[in-house]
Structure 1
């Protein structure tokens, strides 16, 4: 079998490992053993593949499988995450995300539904929902919601179980993708730059997201890194919130040992 054909089959990791073990056994049978100095040497005239070739192919396989994994994660993220089009690597917007920030007046949200109270309209809207819609298997969970949430105000979504409250919040935070429509958070479109959106707000779910084997300090570090803060900013956040929560003495305590009275 030509060496090119063997290398082609070595794209499959199991095949590469089989070729590699065969070469190692041949070197052992020759009472020489696989060594660094014979890594790219053939053990016989008939053998045209070396252990070095196999090692390089396995490194290439790792890179190839990683790219495939990252690609599939984008187009089939599962229950959570934004779904990208299958051709997203060909889109310039993926490699060079738009940094456009909307200014007040660029986008006007008009809510004409009688399900919402009239907007007081004082201040700037921190979050704008624009005809936000989500369908699950043909069933509509959120039906074209348009809404302004103003800064320095408390906006409440009320509804029975299954009304779409959690689904709406999940779309705003990027946990799931909207079927249509969009939301603008602090002047950034969730469909254009979700990474910047996530840096500008926090989300507290219905249950505590705590890791029992992490300390209080490590929790703040973990979530600060998710926000994209640098090392200096993280240390400032640690001191800030430990002081606010009066948890200075619990800085290095495990979460499972912390109790709230």
Structure 2
């Protein structure tokens, strides 16, 4: 869960150890006052997993002091008649903590993905489209498409789009801005482009023209500042998980592992693209 709050692994590792130690400190204040705590206070304290583990260790020690120890028969029993806390409750709270921390990590990674990734709105889990996926091209306004096509045809340097072909990628007024110091730098400005199935589309431009930034937005590395884009009918800001099932990216550097053979590389990427895994396994053999 802690790693979801950090974008760098070394910072997360250092902070994780520090936070892990701090999360144990509340128990040092609760232990001398254990007999004075209400049941609700004990349960609330156990929402911190380290406190729950310390409480469990304390109960084990108290049962050992009685000479019985923790057994299946007394797992749901309290140590004394005055106590209302059992080892079974501690175990249930530890399980609850695991689920709770997992949900927090899932939410934080979705809303604050860090340097790379497309953030979802804070209420994303309330959207039906998140759980059921949005219909393909459901959000594309046909009138807007017609207006864009008409404008493109009027442009002096814009080639008319071919008829009878399907647009696999639709880019509509895509813009990306970066903060550089106190200034805002526009890497991609109002890009509108259709890429057709069955054709090879090449994007040319000088260094800094925004080619890599455009591809980064299409593959979900960066969220667009404004505009929309659709790949196979799915929105890059809402349906990236569905898009990645059919999308591949070859970066500017080699994505190879020194300790893997050629066959192992093929098998690895076959697992990444599950839809071709079985076919590739046969080919590799």
Q: TM-score range by the shorter chain?
A: 0.7 to 0.9
Of 208-217 and 46-55, more deviation after overlay is shown by 208-217
**TM-score computed with the length of structure 1 as normaliser:** 0.80
Aligned: 1:165 with 2:245: no
Q: Equivalents in 2 of 1:184, 1:192: separation in Å? A: 10
CA, structure 1 residues 145+165, in 2 after alignment: closer, same or farther (shift >3 Å)?
same
Task: Report which of the two has the higher share of helix.
Answer: 2
Q: Equivalents in 1 of 2:265, 2:61: separation in Å? A: 49
Partner residue of 1:181 out of 227, 238, 252: 227
Q: Is the 8 A contact 1:217 1:238 kept in 2?
A: no
CA, structure 1 residues 9+226, in 2 after alignment: closer, same or farther (shift >3 Å)?
same
Q: Is the 8 A contact 1:174 1:194 kept in 2?
A: yes
Aligned: 1:128 with 2:163: no
What's the offset of the Cα at 1:34?
A: 1.8
Aligned: 1:94 with 2:130: yes
What's the offset of the Cα at 1:29?
A: 2.0
Partner residue of 2:121 out of 65, 85, 102: 85
Q: Equivalents in 2 of 1:168, 1:50: separation in Å? A: 57
Q: Write the deviation string for residues 59-93 of structure 1: whole angstroms up to 9, x where unpaired.
A: 00000000000000001001111101111112222
The residue correspondences of 1:108-257 to structure 2 (distance < 5 A) are: 108=146, 109-110=148-149, 112=152, 118-119=159-160, 121=162, 123-137=165-179, 138-229=184-275, 233-240=276-283, 242=284
Partner of 1:13: 49
Q: Equivalents in 1 of 2:252, 2:132: separation in Å? A: 35
Aligned: 1:50 with 2:91: no
Aligned residues: 238
What's the offset of the Cα at 1:9?
A: 1.4
**TM-score computed with the length of structure 2 as normaliser:** 0.73
Q: Equivalents in 2 of 1:152, 1:18: separation in Å? A: 62
Q: Equivalents in 1 of 2:209, 2:156: separation in Å? A: 12
Any runs of at least 4 consecutive aligned residues in structure 1 with deviations exceeding 6 A, and if so which?
A: 113-116
What's the offset of the Cα at 1:216?
A: 4.2
What's the offset of the Cα at 1:218?
A: 4.5
Structure 1 runs not aligned, ≥5 long: 243-247, 249-261
Q: Write the deviation string for residues 110-160 of structure 1: whole angstroms up to 9, x where unpaired.
A: 475989763563633221211111122232221111012223333222233
The 3-state SS of whatever aligns with 2:244 is helix
Q: Equivalents in 2 of 1:68, 1:188: separation in Å? A: 27
Structure 2 runs not aligned, ≥5 long: 1-36
Of 159-168 and 116-125, more deviation after overlay is shown by 116-125
Q: Equivalents in 2 of 1:86, 1:127: separation in Å? A: 27
Q: Equivalents in 2 of 1:105, 1:49: separation in Å? A: 60
| Cα RMSD (Å) | 2.8
Q: Equivalents in 1 of 2:126, 2:100: separation in Å? A: 18
The 3-state SS of whatever aligns with 1:199 is coil
Q: Is the 8 A contact 2:134 2:234 kept in 1?
A: no
Q: Equivalents in 1 of 2:267, 2:242: separation in Å? A: 19
CA, structure 1 residues 25+154, in 2 after alignment: closer, same or farther (shift >3 Å)?
same
